[in-house]
């Protein structure tokens, strides 16, 4: 399947097969996320694989009682690590500066910007990190097409 076909085929699924998902498939999905690009290669995401029904029921309730969450054989909980995002942004730009890939002025601008971001509230910095995390999630969604995990 081409990338264009995968994009066209992708659907939001709310009804799942009852089959369990093999551990190898779950690892393949997580590996697809690992390969996603992120600003300064910060990879600010964390994943939790949830299979037990009690936790899935709690997640469904926390997500405004969206029952389909508890019906999925596996739920991948995705979180953003804000500190890692900021720390890796600084170390990443420093690395680029050391090899001459960016000018020192750019390093200083990014460093200053990141330091200012450290004092923002989560809701203010969240959208910056959410873009990175969303790309990783989309990698999972597209990779899942290869395993025919839909209904």
DSSP state at residue 128:
H
Residues 6 or more apart whose Cβ sits within 8 Å of residue 66: 60
Per-residue pLDDT tens digits of the chain, which is 151 residues long: 888 988 888 878 787 888 899 999 999 999 999 999 998 888 999 999 999 999 999 999 999 999 999 999 999 999 998 888 888 888 888 888 899 898 988 888 888 888 877 777 767 777 888 999 999 999 999 999 899 886 6
Structural domains in the chain, sorted by start: 3-145 (3.40.109.10)
Provide the pLDDT for residue 151: 61
> What single string gives the DSSP state of each residue in 63-127?
TTS-THHHHSS-EEEEEE-HHHHHHHHHHHHHHHHHTTSS-HHHHHHHHHHHHHHTTS-HHHHHH
Does the pTM exceed 0.85?
no
């Amino acid at each position: 399947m081409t990338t264009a076909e995968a994009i066209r085929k992708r659907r939001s699924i709310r009804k799942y097969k009852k089959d369990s998902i093999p551990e190898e498939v779950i690892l393949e999905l997580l590996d697809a996320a690992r390969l996603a690009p992120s600003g300064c290669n910060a990879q600010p995401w964390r994943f939790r694989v949830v299979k037990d029904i009690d936790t899935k029921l709690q997640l469904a309730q926390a997500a405004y009682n969206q029952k389909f969450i508890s019906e999925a054989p596996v739920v991948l909980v995705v979180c953003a690590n804000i500190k890692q995002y900021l720390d890796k942004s600084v170390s990443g730009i420093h690395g680029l500066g050391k090899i001459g890939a960016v000018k020192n002025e750019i390093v200083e601008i990014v460093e200053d910007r990141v330091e200012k971001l450290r004092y923002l509230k989560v809701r203010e910095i969240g959208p910056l990190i959410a873009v990175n995390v969303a790309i990783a999630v989309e990698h999972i969604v597209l990779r899942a097409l290869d395993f025919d995990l839909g209904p």
